[in-house]
A and B are shown apart, each in its own frame.
Chain A
Amino acid sequence: MVSTEIRSITATGIALLLDDIDTDRIIPARFLRCVTFDGLGEHAFEDDRQQDANHPFDRPQFQGAGILLAGRNFGCGSSREHAPQSLMRWGIKAVIAESFAEIFFGNCGSLGIPAVTAVRADLVKLAAVIETNPTLEITVDLQQLQVSAGDLSFSVSMPASARDALVTGQWDYLGRLLSAADQVKSHAKKIPYLTGFRM
Chain B
Amino acid sequence: MSDKRNLFNKVWDLHTVQTLPGGQTQLFVGLHLIHEVTSPQAFEILRDRKLSVAFPERTIATVDHIVPTSSQARPFLDGLAEQMMSAIEKNCAEFGITLLDLKDERQGIVHVVGPEQGLTQPGMTIVCGDSHTSTHGAFGSIAIGIGTSNVAEVLATQTMFLSRPKVRRVVVNGELASGVYAKDVILYIIQQLGVQGGVGYAYEFAGTTFDSMSMEERMTVCNMSIEGGARCGYINPDQTTVDYLQGRSFVPKGADFERAGKWWLSLASGEDAQFDDVVEFRADEIEPTVTWGITPAQSVGISQPLPKVNEVAADEQRLIREALDFMGLKEGQSIKGTKIDVAFIGSCTNSRISDLREAARIVEGHRVSPHVKAIVVPGSQLVRKQAMAEGLHKIFEAAGFEWREAGCSMCLAMNPDKLQGREVCASSSNRNFKGRQGSPTGRTLLMSPAMVAVAAIEGHVADIREFAGVLV
Contacts and interface: CB of A to CB of B under 8 A. Distances in A.
B263 A199 contact: yes
A38 B85 CA distance: 18
Contacts of A29: 65, 412-414, 436, 438
B161 A24 contact: no
Given A106-B147, A191-B30, A160 B158 contact: no
Interface in A160-199: 160-161, 164-165, 173-174, 176-178, 180-181, 183-184, 187-188, 190-194, 196-199
A48 interface: yes
Contact of A78 (B41, B131, B259): B131
Contacts of A141: none
| Chain B interface residue number, banded | 35 or more
Nearest to B231: A102
Contacts, number: 205
Contact of B147 (A50, A79, A161, A188): A79
Interface string B134-152: 0000000000011111101
A173 B153 contact: yes
B431 interface: yes
Interface in B10-31: 14-15, 17-18, 20, 22-24, 26, 28, 30
Interface in A110-152: 110-111, 120
Nearest to B262: A197
Contacts of A161: 20, 22-24, 163
Contacts of B200: 102
Interface stretch (B122-130, B212-220, B368-376, B384-392): B122-130
A159 interface: yes
Contact of A33 (B20, B81, B160): B81
Interface string B176-191: 0000000000000000
Interface stretch (A8-16, A53-61, A69-77, A88-96): A69-77
Contacts of A19: 315, 318-319
B265 interface: no
B80 interface: yes
B252 interface: yes
Interface in A23-64: 24-25, 28-30, 32-37, 47-48, 50-51
B17 A184 contact: yes
B23 A25 contact: no
B195 A76 contact: yes
Contacts of A183: 17-18
Contacts of B148: 81-82, 107
Listed residue (B37, B121, B231) with the most chain A CB atoms within 10 angstroms of its CB: B37
Contacts of B49: 1, 174
Interface in B88-108: none
B229 A35 contact: no
Interface residues of A, number: 64
B41 A37 contact: yes
Nearest to A80: B38
Contact of B38 (A73, A79, A177, A197): A79
Contact of A25 (B40, B66, B435): B435
Given A30-B413, A103-B231, A160-B23, A73 B199 contact: yes
B301 to A, nearest CB: 21
Nearest to B408: A29
A187 B438 CA distance: 44
A167 B372 CA distance: 55
A21 B294 CA distance: 10
A29 B103 CA distance: 25
B208 interface: no
B55 interface: yes
A174 B159 contact: no
Contacts of A107: 147-149
Given A161-B23, A173-B160, A183-B17, 20 more contacts: A19-B318, A20-B295, A29-B413, A73-B199, A77-B431, A78-B131, A80-B37, A80-B147, A81-B38, A82-B148, A106-B146, A107-B149, A161-B20, A174-B157, A180-B157, A181-B54, A184-B26, A193-B30, A193-B121, A196-B252
9 contacts: A1-B49, A35-B83, A47-B434, A82-B148, A160-B22, A161-B20, A178-B156, A183-B17, A196-B256
